[in-house]
Amino acid sequence: MRENFLWGTATASYQCEGGWDEGGRVPSLWDTYLHNNQLENGNVASDHYHQYKEDIRLMKEGGHKSYRFSLAWPRLIKNLEGEINPEGVQFYHNIIDECLTNGIEPFVTIFHWDLPQYLEDIGGWTSRRVVTAYEELAKLVFSEYGEKVTYWTTFNEPRYYVFSGYKIGNYPPGVNDTQKTIEASFYMMLANAKAIKIYKDMNLKGEIGIVHSYAPIFGVDDSLETKIAMRNADNYFNNWILDTAIKGELPIDMLTRLNDKYDLSFIQTQDLQDMKENTVDFIGLNYYARALIRPYSGGETVLRINNSGSSAKGTSKVVVKNWFEQVWDPNSEFTEWDTEIFPQGLYEGILMAHKKYGIPIYVTENGVADYEDVSVEQVNDEKRIAFLNDHIDAIIRAVEAGADVRGYYIWSTMDLYSWKNGCEKRYGLVAIDWEDNCKRKPKNSYYWYKKVCESNGEMI
Ligand code: BG6
């Protein structure tokens, strides 16, 4: 691997910080939604808000070269009038400074889903006003941290956020409305372009990208019908983020299709111009699994409810009416949380993205969830080690085949709050003992990954 390859781990503010009502933080839409529905929440999460120094110390000791984390908007800007919260601003200075002092490169996500409730109250991402609010946030964080941070991403997984919140409806704001899904998606991509423009105009030294929930598309066979279904699925899962962010163009065949049924008049010519002129320097790919596609065979749309905790082990299917169907190979291996384990999808997916776009790639999330008993001194997470080993091997093979991959981040640094599945869904290299004041206990995988980082991947 290249000399300065960024070996790291990743978190997101709402999922790890806790301190939800401390330091001047105002509620996010997740606080409101989880509290109102009396669901397990991130009030405490991994207590990173109080224990970040210990976490960064563990990263250093664990050989990490970089830490991917996100900034909580509700900590930074308190209201619609744009009032800045100095304590929140200072908190991220502290995290960034602690990283730099310990030789850890901060890799910062501006938005990882914790929209302030005051913005949700005016329509959330379906409102153009939120794009302006995001521009204000971008200006603030670039001017505060821009001299210290080299790697920026505008959004974490717009597709996953928008589909879960506006189409499937199992995440806040809990809506099932295709028109709103289209509007929210568009406004997020517009906000991405606007933030890139702000960043470039400030002449800062770093790079800026976007993080996508990547579903490399595979077909059940080589027929023409399957190839057409695969193109539709690629538009649905990937292209409207990646083509828009990298090439500055929404996929025209997708737009044409949507235009037949939905109202796209909210899109202004200047928006398309902004997208065209402001594209990313790199892409962040979060890889958990591929999408296996076959042609649409009839019936109404059926979506898979992510995080339902079911154990369908590949027997379910997704139908997007008149577009495609997604199926799972029942002979594949699945995690305890019903995600297919398919490292070859990462290898092929990286090469697909490399061939199509040719810009630098960071694998910004990859990991596996399990149920674990953390009352023991050191969790023996052999399954996680095997999973990570095979996925890192896939990246190394992709690099050998010519792809420009510059970093890899395991999800997650420590156990944290997993959206809707709470804290029992453990992804961390470091266990959090919620029964013992969020005590940190590195797992076997933590020590294994230390060797990977220190050998720059040679030990795989
Ligand atoms: C990604 C998100 O989609 O997957 C993370 O960026 C998330 O925030 C991770 O936690 C794993 O998903 P989940 O739902 O199992 O926590």
Question: What is the mean predicted confidence (pLDDT) over 380-402?
Answer: 98
The predicted pLDDT at position 123 comes to 96
Residue 10 lies inside a defined structural domain of this protein: yes
Whether 304 maps to a domain, the answer reads no
Residue 326 included in any domain: no
Ranges 36-40, 191-195, 326-330, 354-358: which has the least confidence: 326-330
- pLDDT score for 314: 63
**Which atom of ligand 1 is nearest to 288's Cα?**
4
d(CA 192, CA 134): 9
Give me the mean pLDDT over the 409-415 stretch: 98
Q: Domain containing 34: what range?
A: 6-216+234-288+342-454
Is 226 within 8 Å of 294 (Cβ atoms)? Answer: yes
In a domain, 225, yes or no: no
Instruction: Give the distance (Å) from ligand 1 centre to CA of residue 383.
Output: 19
Is 22 a known active-site residue?
A: no
The pLDDT value given to residue 302: 85
Q: Provide the angle, in degrees to the nearest 10, between the axes of the packed helices 128-145 and 178-201.
A: 30
How far apart are the CA of 418 and the centre of ligand 1, in A? 6
3-state helix, strand, coil in the chain (%, to 5): 40, 20, 40
Per the domain annotation, does 376 fall within a domain?
A: yes
pLDDT, tens only, 281-300: 999 999 999 999 999 999 99
The pLDDT tens digits of the residues spanning 241-267 come to 999 999 999 999 999 999 999 999 999
How far apart CA 326 and CA 319 sit, in angstroms, is 7
Average pLDDT, the chain: 96
The per-residue pLDDT for 306 is: 67
Q: What is the reported pLDDT for 304? A: 76
Q: Is residue 324 part of a domain?
A: no
Per residue in 130-142, pLDDT (tens digit) is: 999 999 999 999 9
Asked whether residue 393 is domain-assigned, the answer is yes
**Tokens at 323, concatenated:** 């577009």
CATH number of residue 55's parent domain: 3.20.20.80
- Which range has the worst mean pLDDT, 6-10, 73-77, 297-301? 297-301
pLDDT one-digit tens code per residue, 83-122: 999 999 999 999 999 999 999 999 999 999 999 999 999 9
Ligand 1 touching residue 11 (CB < 6 A): no
Sequence-distant (6+) residues with CB within 8 A of 352 are 216, 217
Is residue 108 lining ligand 1, measured as CB closer than 6 Å? no
Q: Which pLDDT score, from 0 to 100, does residue 285 have?
A: 98
Q: Does position 219 have pLDDT exceeding 80, yes or no?
A: yes
Number of compact structural domains in the chain: 1
Residues 169-202 pLDDT 10s: 999 999 999 999 999 999 999 999 999 999 999 9
pTM, rounded to two decimals: 0.97
pLDDT of residue 311: 54
Residues 219-226, mean pLDDT to the nearest whole number: 98
- Residue 385 belongs to a domain: yes
* Cα distance between residue 407 and residue 425, in whole Å: 25
Is the Cβ atom of 411 under 6 angstroms away from ligand 1?
A: yes
